[in-house]
Amino acid sequence: MIEAVGLTKRYGAKTAVYNLSFQVKPGTVTGFLGPNGSGKSTTMRMILGLDQPTAGHVTVGGHPFRQLPNAPRQVGALLDAKAVHGGRSARNHLLSLAQLSGIPAARVDEVLGVVGLQDVARRRSNGFSLGMGQRLGIASALLGDPQVLLFDEPVNGLDPEGILWVRNLMKQLAAEGRTVFVSSHLMSEMALTAEHLIVIGRGQLLADMSVKDFISHNSADFARIRPAQTGTGQEAREKLIVSLGEAGGQVLSEPDGALRVTGLPLPRISDLAHEADVRLWELSPHQASLEEAYMRLTQGAVDYRSTADQLAGFAPPQPQGYAVQLYEPPVVPDVPTQGWYPPPPPGENPYATDAPPQTPATAAPVPPAPLAPPTSPPAPAPATAADFVKSLGDAKPDETAAATDSTEDAR
pLDDT score of 327 more than 90: no
279 HSE (CA, 13 A, CB side): 7
Question: Is residue 154 very low, low, confident or very high in pLDDT (cuts 50, 70, 90)?
Answer: very high
Strands 196-201 and 179-183: unpaired
**In angstroms, how far is CA 229 from the centroid of its own chain?**
38
pLDDT at 217 over 50: yes
Strands ordered across the beta sheet of 259-262: 250-253, 259-262, 222-227, 280-286
pLDDT for position 309? 58
Query: What percent of the chain lies above the pLDDT cut of 70?
Result: 74
What is the average pLDDT across 235-239? 86
Residue 16: strand, helix, or coil: strand
CB 278 within 8 A of CB 263: no
pLDDT confidence of residue 246: 92
pLDDT, mean of residues 325-353: 47
Q: Which helix (H) or strand (E) holds 57?
A: strand 55-60
Taking the chain, what is the end-to-end CA distance rounded to the nearest angstrom? 94
Q: How confident is the model at residue 370 (pLDDT cuts 50, 70, 90)?
A: low
- 391 phi and psi angles, rounded to 5 deg: -65, -30
Strand order in the sheet with 148-152: 75-78, 148-152, 179-183, 29-33, 196-201, 204-210
Mean pLDDT of 28-40: 94
Largest pairwise CA distance in the chain: 124
Query: Secondary structure of 291-329 in the HEC alphabet?
Result: HHHHHHHHCCCCCCCCCCCCCHHHCCCCCCCCCCCCCCC
Q: What is the pLDDT of residue 341?
A: 45
Give the pairing of strands 196-201 and 29-33. Answer: parallel
Where does the pLDDT of residue 345 fall: very low under 50, low under 70, confident under 90, or very high at 90 and above?
low
- For 49, 125, 236, 395, the CA distances from 144, given in Å and listed in that order, are 18, 21, 68, 104
What is the model's pTM? 0.68
Of 58-72, 346-360, 380-394, the range with the highest mean pLDDT is 58-72
pLDDT at residue number 301: 83
Contact 117, 139 (CB under 8 A): yes
Contact 215, 287 (CB under 8 A): yes
The pLDDT > 90 percentage for the chain reads: 50
Which pLDDT value is given to residue 6? 96
Q: Please state, as a whole number, how many other Cβ atoms lie within 10 Å of the Cβ of residue 136.
A: 23
Residue 375 has pLDDT above 60, yes or no: no
Q: What is the pLDDT of residues 81-124, one digit of tens each?
A: 888 888 899 999 999 999 988 999 999 999 999 999 999 999 99
Q: Taking the mean position of all CA atoms in its chain, how far away is CA 297? A: 21
Residue 74: other Cβ atoms inside 10 A: 17
pLDDT greater at residue 324 or residue 213? 213
Confidence bin at 321 (pLDDT 50/70/90) = very low
Task: DSSP for 126-143, please give it.
Answer: GG--HHHHHHHHHHHHHT
Question: Any idea what the Cα angle at residue 292 is, between residues 291 and 293, rounded to 5°?
Answer: 90
> Which pLDDT value is given to residue 22?
97
Q: Is 96 helix (H, G, I), strand (E, B) or coil?
A: helix
Predicted confidence band of residue 330 (pLDDT cuts 50, 70, 90): very low
Task: Select from 196, 195, 199 the least CA-distant residue to 185.
Answer: 199
| pLDDT of the residue at 127 | 87
Residue-averaged pLDDT of the chain: 80
pLDDT confidence of residue 314: 55
Using CA atoms, how far apart are residues 222 and 284, in angstroms rounded to an integer?
A: 9
pLDDT of residue 391: 55
Judged by average pLDDT, the poorest of 62-66, 113-117, 370-374 is 370-374
Cβ count within 10 A of residue 76 = 23
Q: Is the pLDDT of residue 278 over 50?
A: yes
What is the pLDDT at residue 368? 52
Binning pLDDT at 50, 70 and 90, where does residue 323 land?
very low
What's residue 379's pLDDT?
53
More confidently predicted of 366 and 36: 36
Q: What is the pLDDT of residue 10?
A: 95
Q: Read off the pLDDT of residues 257-275 as tens digits, 9 standing for 90 and up.
A: 889 998 898 999 999 999 9
pLDDT at 139: 94
Check: CB of residue 64 under 8 Å from CB of residue 221: no
